[in-house]
Amino acid sequence: MKKTIYGLVALSLLAWLLPVFALVPQWDVWVWRKQLIYWSGLASFLLMTLVMLLAIRPRWLEKPLGGLDKMYHLHKWAGISAVGLAITHYGLKLAKGPMLWVFDEAVKGQRTKTFLEIFRSSAKDLGEWSVWLFAAMILLALWHRFPYHVWRYIHKALGVMYLVIVYHGIVLTPAEWWLQPAGLLIAAASVLGTYCAFISLGGRIGQASSHHGTVLAVHELSQNTFEVVCQLGKQWRHQPGQFAFLTFDRLEGPHPFTIASADQGDGQIRFAIKALGDYTNKLARSITIGQQVTIEGPYGCFNTPAADTAGRQVWIAAGIGVTPFIAWLEGLQDNPDAAPEASLYYCANNEQEAVFAERLQQLCKQLPSIRLHIHLSQHDGTLTAEQIFTDADKSTSVWFCGPNTFSDSLKQQMTALGLQPERFHQELFQMR
């Protein structure tokens, strides 16, 4: 994730440096302020274009970026970085007043010519307003208590804001840039980002990956956990561990859930859902058998790991995070020899919440290379890296699905034990 953001920022620096080389002899603070305004604007615009590209969920980027969950994590941080650079861009413009207290006023020279000079004033005003609107939308996106069904419509408005930024950039880019790498970057990003913005505003995100089906069954597993079985067409295919977006109500929109079953070739898929918020609480009461459902996917690269002869594997499932591991185990039932040597830890608070324990035990009976450990925190305490890695070496691979606080703690403990953090695999399922 960081490499992608740093790479785009570095690309903007390289493209910006070419026209700046001619200014090196001019050690004038006002000249360099203007050039830094240009660079911060270019870097911010490239990151905003990346945000727009990731928003339309392009399938061809999943493998290079490690899955849609990683793409959305990048989408979030690219947006935050873009807003930070945009505020820097605008802040440098506002810095003129304070700078006059320290430096002599700039010698008035010829104003930098732009491609569409006639629209200069409107482009400046619209660009300034869009920076603050972008920042406000990012804050709303980070405020998880803000209602999702309202937030998703506000978030969609980012497409309009992006088109305003395109207008701002094209009008105010220095005319000489258009024959240089910086101008080519702006032109390419404008075309790509505008295409993505229209896909988003037209409601066509994920359209090519959408499937229509019906609810076959709803099973209550516990007071706050239930299972939904859906029937799709037999053309549906997925890999164990992938997830999909479910839409039961068009006004509410799609929500991601891990597929808790292996692909049997009959178009049936199962989702295990825990009521953790307003939407999932309401969903448990509102789903009915025969109800129509739209399923978009499958997405994700959290697939069954291959047997690794170089070292052991540890699978850690916390709470509802057990769903991809159930799909893994189901997918291995017909070919036990393909199962790796692994220890599976299923973590729950108590026996009442360990609703998948019996199912896991049944599946693991057919897979002798998988050793199941049921860890109940109210009885056994919090699971620690010391307990898991008593006989582990540096080649041990960890596959985790559960709360971020738990994963962060385990990663810190692993590092303290000398294990490599890059061998810790998890799905970043927090997509907002």
pLDDT of 55-65, one tens digit each?
999 999 999 99
Instruction: Give the SS3 label for residue 191.
Output: helix
Residue 358 is predicted with a pLDDT of 95
Among the listed residues 328, 191, 175, the one whose alpha carbon sits nearest the alpha carbon of residue 262: 328
Residue 30 lies in a domain: yes
For residue 117, pLDDT over 70 is answered with no
Residue 243 is predicted with a pLDDT of 95
Instruction: Give the SS3 label for residue 157.
Output: coil
For residue 383, pLDDT over 80 is answered with yes
Q: What is the CATH number of the domain that holds 232?
A: 2.40.30.10
Q: Which two tokens stand for residue 169?
A: 């950039």
Residue 145 lies in a domain: yes
Please identify, among 250, 277, 299, the residue that sits at the C-terminal boundary of a domain.
299
Determine the angle formed by the axes of helices 68-94 and 120-142, rounding to 10 degrees.
130
Residues 25 and 110 reside in one and the same domain = yes
Instruction: Give the SS3 label for residue 161.
Output: helix
Please identify, among 172, 201, 230, the residue that sits at the C-terminal boundary of a domain.
201
Residue 110 is predicted with a pLDDT of 47
Residue 249 is predicted with a pLDDT of 84
d(CA 54, CA 432): 13
**pLDDT tens track for 326-338:** 999 999 999 998 8
Residues 178 and 99 reside in one and the same domain = yes
Residue 406 is predicted with a pLDDT of 92
For residue 187, pLDDT over 90 is answered with yes
User: Mean pLDDT over all residues of the chain?
Assistant: 86
Task: Round to the nearest angstrom and report the end-to-end CA distance of the chain.
Answer: 16
d(CA 306, CA 313): 10
d(CA 91, CA 258): 43
Domain extent at residue 253: 207-299
Residues 54 and 164 reside in one and the same domain = yes
Instruction: Give the number of other CB atoms < 10 A from CB of residue 153.
Output: 10
Residues 168 and 228 reside in one and the same domain = no
Q: Tell me the average pLDDT across 36-55.
A: 95
Q: Which two tokens stand for residue 71?
A: 């793409």
Residues 195 and 233 reside in one and the same domain = no
C-alpha angle 110/111/112, rounded to 5°?
115
Among the listed residues 322, 332, 353, 306, the one whose alpha carbon sits nearest the alpha carbon of residue 259: 322
Phi, psi of 207 (to 5 degrees): -60, -40
Task: Determine how β-strand 342-348 pairs with β-strand 268-274.
Answer: unpaired
Instruction: Give the containing element (helix H, strand E) for 36.
Output: helix 29-55
Residues 361 and 247 reside in one and the same domain = no
Residue 246 is predicted with a pLDDT of 95
CA atoms within 13 A on the CB side of 55: 29
Residues 219 and 187 reside in one and the same domain = no
Residues 191 and 217 reside in one and the same domain = no
Please identify, among 201, 230, 245, the residue that sits at the C-terminal boundary of a domain.
201
Among the listed residues 291, 297, 286, the one whose alpha carbon sits nearest the alpha carbon of residue 231: 291
Residue 109 is predicted with a pLDDT of 47
For residue 373, pLDDT over 80 is answered with yes
Residue 224 lies in a domain: yes
Number of domains in the chain: 3
d(CA 163, CA 216): 43
Residue 306 lies in a domain: no
Residues 185 and 216 reside in one and the same domain = no
d(CA 299, CA 129): 36
Residue 305 lies in a domain: no
For residue 310, pLDDT over 60 is answered with no
Instruction: Give the SS3 label for residue 271.
Output: strand
Residues 82 and 211 reside in one and the same domain = no
Residue 244 is predicted with a pLDDT of 96
Residues 153 and 275 reside in one and the same domain = no
What CA–CA distances, in Å, run from 127 to 47, 59, 94?
16, 31, 14
Residues 172 and 83 reside in one and the same domain = yes
